[in-house]
Amino acid sequence: MSHTPIVQFGTSRFLQAHADLFVSEALKEGRALGSISVVQTSGDPSRSRRLEALASDEGFEVQIKGLEHGQLVDTATRVKSIVRSLSLPDDLDRVRDIVTDQARIILSNTADAGFRPREADKVARYSQEMSYPAKLAWFLFRRYEAHGEPIQVMPTELVAQNGSVLRDLVLNISSLYPAAFRNWLERDVIWVNSLVDRIVSEPLEPAGAVAEPYSLWAIEDQPGLVLPCEHRCIQVVANLQDVETLKLFVLNLGHTYLVSRWLGAGGNEHRYVRDMVSDPPVRADLEELYANEVVPGFGAYGRARVAKDYVATTLDRFKNPFLDHKLADIAQNHPEKVKRRIAGFLAWAREADPKFEAPRLEMAAAAPASVHMLP
């Protein structure tokens, strides 16, 4: 069986259309660290067909559908970066051996609750009921016991400073193990912060996915960083703040502003984001919002040009004719999103320019359940 320097915890369609696709494309050009062993952490037997298909010789299909620079994209590719698929707890010993002897990078994209502590985390004995950080601590301790060679951990979960958060969770759990293990975790494990961005709209059966053309994997630089591959969609950055503010205050803010209009109109006329931005008055209002309020806010930080370019990309993403992005889904927890995305933007812009004004956004922030239709 092939040597796999990349071990991936999680079989999500997001990873299939993101990291797995990147590594597959890079392998063809000799620009990847190596192939991937993927581990299903849930042990769900209903996903056995997916697990088998992920590592098939034929690979699995990822379809890229949407708009890029205003042009329609509709392509498909076979992903062949995964050469081994395993499941916990059935393959516990095999996963342990690969993490101990082969792995140089551990990737993850577990379920939303994957980082949440559980009762089973309180003992060092492996249990399928453990959280992902507790399982990771268990595997890393086996590596430490065997030879203690350095390793890199790269979570892709949508958690701010995800590498640092995962590190702290594992360090907390390490109190169950010998004290020297904690020192090794701090000294010889590189914990990488990253931000991922790609809308993966639907799965294919038994494995594969449909995704938009836009994709980003922003990775925070640090000494000793090892990339799983070189790829056009991977950016190594000094810090993630600039990337995070673009995503939060352009893409996410735009979604929440559209939902504010949608709720203000009764929430009945449109179903999907693409429908709403195809409505000429709504589209004009959104474009004016970006041009007259959002881009000037970034301009206060000297970032107007990059914000303007990102706005153009965002509008293409909103118009994607293949993407069923429901307004009702975005509307969940709307007041909290208004606070973080819209009020947060206003506060951020005013840190650089105390006189900054944005009347549409101020109105949306003041009435998070709705926003008046502006002429």
Helix axes 162-173, 132-146, angle to 10 degrees: 70
Cα–Cα distance for residue pair 105/190, rounded to 1 Å: 9
CA angle 92/98/104 to nearest 5° reads 135
Q: Are residues 183 and 321 in the same domain?
A: no
HSE-up of 44 (CA within 13 Å, CB side)? 12
Cα–Cα distance for residue pair 94/128, rounded to 1 Å: 15
Pick from 214, 237, 260: which residue ends a domain?
237
What count of residues does the chain have? Answer: 375
**Arithmetic mean of pLDDT over the chain:** 93
Q: What's the distance, CA 309 to chain centroid? A: 21
Q: Are residues 336 and 254 in the same domain?
A: yes
Q: Are residues 200 and 228 in the same domain?
A: yes
pLDDT of residue 83: 97
pLDDT of residue 269: 76
Question: Is residue 372 one of the residues assigned to a domain?
Answer: no
pLDDT of residue 374: 38
Pick from 213, 237, 261: which residue ends a domain?
237
pLDDT higher than 80, residue 144:
yes
Q: In this predicted model, what pLDDT tens digit does every residue of 287-344 receive, in sequence order?
A: 999 999 999 999 999 999 999 999 999 999 999 999 888 898 888 889 999 999 999 9
DSSP letters spanning 112-149: TTTTS--GGGGSSS--TTS-HHHHHHHHHHHHHHHT--
Q: Are residues 212 and 283 in the same domain?
A: no
Quick count: other Cβ atoms within 10 Å of Cβ 160? 11
Task: Copy the structure tokens of residue 371.
Answer: 């926003």
Q: Are residues 233 and 87 in the same domain?
A: yes
pLDDT of residue 370: 46
Q: Are residues 184 and 272 in the same domain?
A: no
For 280, the domain range is 241-366
- Give percent above pLDDT 90 in the chain: 83
135: left (phi over 0), alpha (psi -120 to 50) or beta: alpha
Under DSSP, is residue 372 helix (H, G, I), strand (E, B) or coil? coil
Cα–Cα distance for residue pair 161/157, rounded to 1 Å: 10
Cα–Cα distance for residue pair 164/240, rounded to 1 Å: 13
150, 190 Cβ separation under 8 angstroms:
yes
Q: In this predicted model, what pLDDT tens digit does every residue of 77-107 receive, in sequence order?
A: 999 999 999 999 999 999 999 999 999 999 9
What average pLDDT does the segment 260-266 reach? 87
Question: Is residue 212 one of the residues assigned to a domain?
Answer: yes
Cα–Cα distance for residue pair 184/165, rounded to 1 Å: 17
Question: Is residue 371 one of the residues assigned to a domain?
Answer: no
Question: Is residue 267 one of the residues assigned to a domain?
Answer: yes
Q: Are residues 206 and 354 in the same domain?
A: no
Q: Using alpha carbons, list the distances in angstroms from residue 321 to 211, 274, 325.
A: 12, 7, 10
Quick count: other Cβ atoms within 10 Å of Cβ 175? 11
Number of structural domains in the chain: 2
Comparing C-alpha atoms, which of 107, 64, 147 is closest to residue 320? 64
CATH number for the domain that contains residue 313: 1.10.1040.10
CATH number for the domain that contains residue 162: 3.40.50.720
pLDDT higher than 60, residue 372:
no
